[in-house]
């Protein structure tokens, strides 16, 4: 079991082991350690102590897989296995993943590296690993029955290839793909540029978009679901327990987002515009980078964007599909807006005194009320900020920009205190006259009087 302190010292640098050039000698070393993670906390990886310098990625509520050096080859060990993942405080999912967690650990290496990845299968059925977006030999591509045989339960296969380009990639099974991905089997693969002066950033965050359909009170995803998922997650984590993106004012920040759900996700960040700098196909030349405040992430795709953190504050970041920022969302709940439930409530309370009518004026009541829930689930809307309920869930977090954050400090600095005069407030004076319109026709606005 790899603890947090060990992880901080591992990862990028690894341990240098002496070996000959012979493959037989390599095998005699045995398998690299299969590091395990038993926590859903964000783990921070130390900068590399040898080789090209780079800023390690920070996988929200995830970690980076350590490696060892063997005769110039970086060796990793992935274990496909059943796992328990804490989606949020009070909710556990029984999933399939890698090395103790879903999503799996992030693999980090450098352009030009040769990697050797051992994959041990502890699942009850065969599996493979497809290296999504990486350029490699056909026999290493991980498609069961096409690239190579499926990895049987209890067996270990080896993938070995050169990293010929830098960028952001993904890994996932390509055998019984529907079931295994629905159970949580996926991870990210980051290849840093060999030139440290190419596309440098101060902070580099990583998010994998995934989704589950888990009925309240149960633990195992419904793998046959195609569209009606009820838990929309970042790195198999849901708000309010997705860690914040903590940034020092003035930092150049990159956010990499991969999508292995069944639908697209328009990721919107408040308070900033940014430039899209990388896609699945590679880095976007500076002259072709385009500005956005929201970037749509297609299915099976990745987008990365960058910005300079020059606006202090707490800034929401979330999927802009509103039902993707809710938890345990039922799809058959009727709409009660405008309904008078008072007569019905009086009758129901004769048999159930604790009955609470809801939904007549919207769904915001759900974020304020505390009521019994089924085992192993959390409220549909939840989370509290410094001024009240945030009324969110699912794919939502906060970018926290502060002065004086140390380079290796990603701890939550708490809530931002708005300076005097920079926060909306209640108006109690006389209201200005306001206009209204009850016509569906287009109304043209007159040109301003140039003389006025």
pLDDT digits (tens, 9 = 90+) for 333-374: 676 667 777 887 787 778 878 777 766 665 555 555 566 778
Structure confidence at residue 6 as a pLDDT band (50, 70, 90): very low
pLDDT for 382: 87
The predicted model gives 27-51 an average pLDDT of 88
Q: Which of 60-64, 324-328, 343-347 has the lowest mean pLDDT?
A: 343-347
pLDDT for 29: 65
pLDDT for 365: 59
> How far is it, in rounded angstroms, from Cα 214 to Cα 197?
45
Structure confidence at residue 310 as a pLDDT band (50, 70, 90): very high
Neighbour count for residue 257 (Cβ, 10 Å): 23
pLDDT for 341: 74
312: left (phi over 0), alpha (psi -120 to 50) or beta: beta
pLDDT for 368: 56
Structure confidence at residue 311 as a pLDDT band (50, 70, 90): very high
The predicted model gives 200-223 an average pLDDT of 96
CA neighbor of 251 nearest in space, from 205, 206, 290, 286: 205
pLDDT for 24: 42
Q: Read off the tokens for 177.
A: 């793909």
Give percent above pLDDT 90 in the chain. Answer: 75
Phi, psi of 345 (to 5 degrees): -60, -40
pLDDT for 15: 29
pLDDT for 131: 98
pLDDT for 413: 98
Structure confidence at residue 319 as a pLDDT band (50, 70, 90): very high
The predicted model gives 179-191 an average pLDDT of 98
Structure confidence at residue 425 as a pLDDT band (50, 70, 90): very high
Q: Which of 30-34, 108-112, 144-148, 236-240 has the lowest mean pLDDT?
A: 30-34
pLDDT for 370: 61
The predicted model gives 226-238 an average pLDDT of 92
pLDDT for 431: 94
- Contact residues for 202 (Cβ-Cβ < 8 A; gap 6+): 55, 248, 251, 252, 253, 407
pLDDT for 345: 76
pLDDT for 362: 56
């Amino acid at each position: 079991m790899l603890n947090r302190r060990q992880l901080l010292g591992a990862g990028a640098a690894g341990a240098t082991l002496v070996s000959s050039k012979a493959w037989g000698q390599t095998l005699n070393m045995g398998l690299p350690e299969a590091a395990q993670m038993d926590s859903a906390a964000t783990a921070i990886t130390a900068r590399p102590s040898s080789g090209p310098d780079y800023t390690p990625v920070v996988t929200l509520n995830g970690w980076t897989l350590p490696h060892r050096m063997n005769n110039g080859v970086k060796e990793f060990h992935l274990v496909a296995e059943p796992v328990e993942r804490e989606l949020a405080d009070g909710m556990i999912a029984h999933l399939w993943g890698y090395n103790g967690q879903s999503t799996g650990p992030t693999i980090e290496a450098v352009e030009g590296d040769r990697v050797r990845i051992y994959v041990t299968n502890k699942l009850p059925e065969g599996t493979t690993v497809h290296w999504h977006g990486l350029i490699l030999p056909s026999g290493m591509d991980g498609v069961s029955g096409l690239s190579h045989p499926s990895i049987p339960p209890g067996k270990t296969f080896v993938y070995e290839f050169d990293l010929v380009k830098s960028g952001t990639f993904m890994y996932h099974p390509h055998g019984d793909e529907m079931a295994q991905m629905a159970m949580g089997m996926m991870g990210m693969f980051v290849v840093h540029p060999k030139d440290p002066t190419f596309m440098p950033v101060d902070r580099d965050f990583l998010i994998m978009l995934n989704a589950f359909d888990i009925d309240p009170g149960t633990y195992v995803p419904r793998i046959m679901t195609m569209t009606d998922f009820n838990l929309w997650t970042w790195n198999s984590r849901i708000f309010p327990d997705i860690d914040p993106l903590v940034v020092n004012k003035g930092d150049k920040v990159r956010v990499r987002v991969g999508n292995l759900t069944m639908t697209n996700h328009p990721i919107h960040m408040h308070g900033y515009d940014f430039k899209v700098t990388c896609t699945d196909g590679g880095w976007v030349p500076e002259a072709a980078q385009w500005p956005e405040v929201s970037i749509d992430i297609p299915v099976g795709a990745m987008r990365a964007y960058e910005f300079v953190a020059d606006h202090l504050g707490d800034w929401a970041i979330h999927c802009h599909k509103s039902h993707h920022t809710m938890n345990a969302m039922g799809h058959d709940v009727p709409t009660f807006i405008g309904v008078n439930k008072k007569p019905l409530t009086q009758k129901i309370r004769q048999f159930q005194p604790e009955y609470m009518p809801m939904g007549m004026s919207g769904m915001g009541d759900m974020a304020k009320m505390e009521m019994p829930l089924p085992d192993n689930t959390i409220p549909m809307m939840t989370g509290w900020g410094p001024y009240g309920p945030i009324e969110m869930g699912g794919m939502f977090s906060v970018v926290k920009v502060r002065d004086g954050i140390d380079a290796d400090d990603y701890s939550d600095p708490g809530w931002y205190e708005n300076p005097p005069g920079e926060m909306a407030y209640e108006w109690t004076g006389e209201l200005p006259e306001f206009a209204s319109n009850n016509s569906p026709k287009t109304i043209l606005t007159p040109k301003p009087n140039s003389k006025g």
